[in-house]
Amino acid sequence: MAVESALIKFVKEKFPNFVISTHSFRNDDTIVIRKEGLKQVMTFLKTDKNTLFNMLVDITAVDNLGSEPRFEVIYHILSLTLKLRLRIKVPVEEMEAEVDSITSIWPGANWFEREVFDMFGIIFKNHPDLKRILMYDEFEGHPLRKDFPLKKQFPRIQMREVKTKY
């Protein structure tokens, strides 16, 4: 059994009702939390003097088709001050594929959340501008879902006018 890091112990003590599980291996810490506690935990991790996670590195998702919960939204955060790295995972049910937006905590989450929405169809509640970012507006479905039909034919759309003057 791996020994828990001091960071994981600290977060578990602060949020015993939100932490589902943890994993620590070679300074690679992961905490799985309930989606109801996402904003509270992330705000704490960014502002507490013992953590100071001032950089959101990435947000992505995983589709575990055939498992419950089907999705996991994964956040990678970094404390440049304390030289700490942490992965936060939030399990998300297929029928309620939504989590709170963290753009109010890290404004840089805006495009990451839009990408996860576009590719997986997970809704980020209270996002300031949740719309497609990679696929065109008329695109049907979410291409990184494991049940996305690979050979589906999509209707051609009319080319949009390109602005030549700025």
Domain assignment present for 90: yes
Which residues, 6+ apart, have CB-to-CB distance to 39 below 8 Å? 100, 102, 104, 105
Which residues, 6+ apart, have CB-to-CB distance to 162 below 8 Å? none
pLDDT at residue 29 greater than cutoff 60: yes
pLDDT at residue 161 greater than cutoff 60: yes
Contact 132, 139 (CB under 8 A): yes
Residue 2's pLDDT is 62
Domain assignment present for 66: yes
Q: What is the pLDDT of residues 91-102, one digit of tens each?
A: 999 999 999 999
What is the count of structural domains for the chain?
1
94: CATH: 3.30.460.80
Rounded to whole angstroms, how far apart are CA atoms 116 and 37? 19
Work out the average pLDDT over 63-74: 97
Work out the average pLDDT over 16-22: 97
pLDDT at residue 1 greater than cutoff 70: no
Domain assignment present for 57: yes
Work out the average pLDDT over 141-149: 92
Domain assignment present for 137: no
Residue 120's pLDDT is 98
Domain assignment present for 144: no
pLDDT at residue 155 greater than cutoff 70: no
* Centroid of chain to Cα 159: 32
Domain assignment present for 114: yes
Q: What is the pLDDT of residues 59-68, one digit of tens each?
A: 999 999 999 9
Domain assignment present for 142: no
Which residues, 6+ apart, have CB-to-CB distance to 27 below 8 Å? 5, 85
Residue 154's pLDDT is 67
Residue 136's pLDDT is 84
Percent of the chain having pLDDT more than 70? 93
Range of the domain at 15: 6-125
The structure's pTM equals 0.90
Domain assignment present for 161: no
Residue 166's pLDDT is 62
